[in-house]
Amino acid sequence: MILPKSNRLSAEQVAELTEIVGEFGCRLQPIIGAMRTIYAILGDERDVLMINRIEGLDYIDRVDRIQSPFKLMDRRSDLASHHIKIGGVTVSEELFVIAGQCTIDPKNPGYFYETAEMVKEAGGHVIRGGVWKPRTNPYSFQGDVKSLDILMEASRRTGLPVDAEVMDEDQLKMALDAGVHMLQIGARNALNYSLLRSIGAAIAETETVVLLKRGLHMGPINEFIAAAEYIVSFGNPNILLCPRGTKPGLDGYRNHPDESITPLLKEKSWAPVVVDPSHSVGRATYVPACAMAAIAYGADGLCMEAHVEPSKGIGDDPKQALNPESLSRIIRQGRELWNLTRGATTAIA
């Protein structure tokens, strides 16, 4: 829908608009109101070049798109009936839980194996473990490829699938060759379109699941969903959207908690939402409330950092990781809240 700056356009201006939309196979339909005339674009109005050409005209205020910019991620797409199955569950049918260490310590693999057992005992479905780490400080521990073997060994020991972040194509190949079941795209890479494309292409013919974190500075909801569309457009629709807090942080929290965008994401997209409360608030003591808020907002799952002995962890773990008691309490209470809220929705509907 084209909204001009003035109430009526001249014949020359209408002719110019007609010509532009015509170049893109569309037609112009004036909608004449008592005070103002606006113009519908008949045809596929999603071409960004067409919209930019129209918005570049000095007599045009803006173009509002009615069609969704996402062909596949839109909740009205055929993919809306797609179910993601991993770790013995169908995501969205029960509270889905990813948990484990921020960072695997290659010098102390025992901690990771114990953490993995703890996640399983607490009722988690996927074990997370950072192999390669995006660190703000170039001198901090950057991860170690040796941790990939530790991650896969934890999967064998527990029988649970594993999740790890990849930041480039080499890591992507190594992770897939090793059999990593879930690939995490971190907040720093959520807008790295060439990486998104590489991941989409590499997993197109597989069952691999992608956990796409929300970018640190992502603004509009559409930007997040469009990043997911990059991956899904290659053919594998196993994608989870993961709000994890944005910058600038709320004073006292590591980031600005954003679990409240869950219903907004769900209004636009069918993709399950798995909230990461750990990176959102950044301290283990604040994680339980954030996790419950996420479930109350309708999240399908949680991705939480947890460690069998947080003070012995590396990376974010000493500060953020849940200890065994907190993890199992959150999962237990989270399931109760899930049943309460999902039950309430059914009763009202």
Closest distance between ligand PEP and the C-beta of residue 90, in Å?
24
Secondary structure class of 51 (helix, strand, coil): helix
| Three-state DSSP state, 259 | helix
**3 state SS of 71:** coil
Strands (E), 79-161: 85-86, 89-90, 96-101, 126-129
254 binds ligand PEP (CB under 6 A): no
Closest to 300 (Cα-Cα) out of 347, 244, 241: 241
Residue 316 lies near Mn ion (rule: CB under 5 A) = yes
Least Cβ distance, residue 163 to ligand PEP (angstroms): 9
Under the criterion CB under 6 A, does residue 102 sit at the interface with ligand PEP? Answer: yes
Quick check: 186 binds ligand PEP (CB under 6 A)?
Answer: yes
288 Cβ contact list (under 8 Å, min separation 6):
326, 329, 330, 333
Q: Which residue is nearest to ligand PEP (CB)?
A: 186
Residue 217 touches ligand PEP, criterion: CB under 6 A: no
- Does residue 119 belong to the site contacting ligand PEP (CB under 6 A)? no
Q: How far is the CB of 53 from Mn ion (least distance, A)?
A: 44
Q: Contact with ligand PEP (CB under 6 A): which of 125, 266, 279, 307? A: 279
Q: Which is nearer to Mn ion, 69 or 249 (CB)?
A: 249
Residue 114 beta carbon to ligand PEP: minimum distance, rounded to whole angstroms: 19
Strands 96-101 and 126-129: parallel
Q: How far apart are the first and last CA of the chain?
A: 34
User: Which of 310, 306, 314 lies closest to 154, judged by CA?
Assistant: 306
**What is the spatial distance between Cα 32 and Cα 282, in angstroms, rounded to a whole number?**
53
What one-letter code names the amino acid at 274?
A: V
CA 166 to chain centre: 15
Q: Nearest approach, Cβ of 278 to ligand PEP (angstroms)?
A: 8
Q: What are the residues whose beta carbons fall under 8 Å from the beta carbon of 237, sequence distance 6 or more?
A: 72, 79, 82, 84
Closest CB 243 distance from ligand PEP, rounded Å: 10
Residues 84-123 that bind Mn ion (CB under 5 A): 102
Closest contact distance (angstroms) between CB of 316 and ligand PEP is 6
Our finding on whether 266 is near ligand PEP (CB under 6 A) is: no
Q: Which of these ranges, 15-23, 184-192, 198-206, 309-317, lies near Mn ion under the rule CB under 5 A? A: 309-317
Query: Per rule CB under 6 A, is residue 244 in the interface with ligand PEP?
Result: yes
Residues in region 313-332 near ligand PEP by CB under 6 A: 316
Q: Does 276 bind Mn ion (CB under 5 A)?
A: no
Q: Residue 27 is inside which H or E element, if any?
A: strand 27-32
| Subset of residues 142 to 171 that bind ligand PEP, contact rule: CB under 6 A | 165
H or E segment and range at residue 79: none
By CB under 6 A, name the binding residues for ligand PEP. 102, 130, 134, 165, 186-188, 213, 244, 279, 316
By CB under 5 A, name the binding residues for Mn ion. 102, 316
